[in-house]
């Protein structure tokens, strides 16, 4: 019970991050006629997409969703006073895992050299490179080891989300939703706005 109470946030985020994997599993089939061979299912895509394109689409959507969720964590704390640093770290790891999976599928479909043929691909690639060190340092061990440097390192997440938004915007996906959410989050972070919100929340708490 103590373990569950202490790590419930990590457990919930992990479950939410893994569940979509079951959707992806339906896009594969196992061929046992010649041993154990994992192949893509035929006609697994929807809306005119091939199975591989569907894989690319799903992983990309979930990576940007998790990234947006991570960056709305601080505004959520400002608005409601609820904060859990280690839950945010778990979200960051989920973001990196889905982003890496998205990039691997892109290489599978197009080849690594294709990464450098378009600006939006380069932006996505740089975002993934930024997320890798953030993923491996999102734990208590590295927090203690890096101390103040840890926060500076994690602040690179802002660069990753901007590059990711550029990536999806150029691809003409439903990027506006994420851009609006992130934009509102940045407005809430402005010191003058933040102070007013927290002051009102404090006054309401005292009045209650």
Q: pLDDT for 89-106, tens place per residue? A: 888 889 999 999 999 989
Give the 3-state secondary structure of residue 84. Answer: coil
How sure is the predictor about 2, in pLDDT bands with cuts at 50, 70 and 90? low
Distance CA 54, CA 102 (A): 11
Give the range with max mean pLDDT: 23-37, 58-72, 165-179: 58-72
As given in the structure block, the two tokens for residue 107 are: 């290489």
List Cβ neighbours of 83 (8 Å cut-off, separation of 6 or more): 73, 76, 77
Give me the domain span that covers residue 24: 2-207
Percent of the chain predicted with pLDDT > 90:
13
Query: Do residues 131 and 95 lie in contact, with contact meaning Cβ atoms separated by under 8 Å?
Result: yes
Q: What global pTM score does this model have?
A: 0.83
Q: Is the pLDDT confidence value at 5 over 70?
A: no
Q: What is the domain count for the chain?
A: 1
């Amino acid at each position: 019970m103590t373990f569950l109470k202490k790590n419930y946030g990590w457990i919930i985020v992990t479950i939410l991050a893994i569940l979509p994997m079951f959707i992806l599993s339906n896009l594969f089939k196992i061929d046992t006629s010649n041993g154990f061979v994992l192949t893509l299912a035929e006609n697994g895509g929807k809306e005119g997409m091939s199975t591989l394109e569907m894989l690319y689409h799903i992983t990309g959507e979930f990576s940007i969703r998790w990234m947006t969720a991570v960056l709305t964590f601080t505004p959520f704390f400002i608005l409601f006073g609820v904060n859990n640093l280690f839950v945010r770290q778990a979200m960051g790891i989920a973001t990196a895992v889905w982003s890496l999976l998205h990039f691997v599928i892109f290489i599978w479909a197009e080849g690594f050299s294709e990464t450098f043929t378009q600006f939006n691909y380069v932006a996505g690639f740089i975002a993934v490179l930024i997320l890798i060190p953030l993923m491996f340092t999102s734990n208590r061990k590295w927090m203690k080891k890096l101390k103040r440097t840890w926060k500076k390192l994690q602040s690179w997440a802002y660069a990753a989300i901007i590059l990711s938004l550029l990536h999806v915007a150029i691809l003409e996906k439903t990027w506006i939703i994420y851009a609006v959410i992130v934009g509102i989050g940045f407005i809430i972070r402005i010191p003058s706005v933040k102070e007013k919100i927290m002051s009102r929340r404090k006054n309401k708490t005292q009045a209650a």
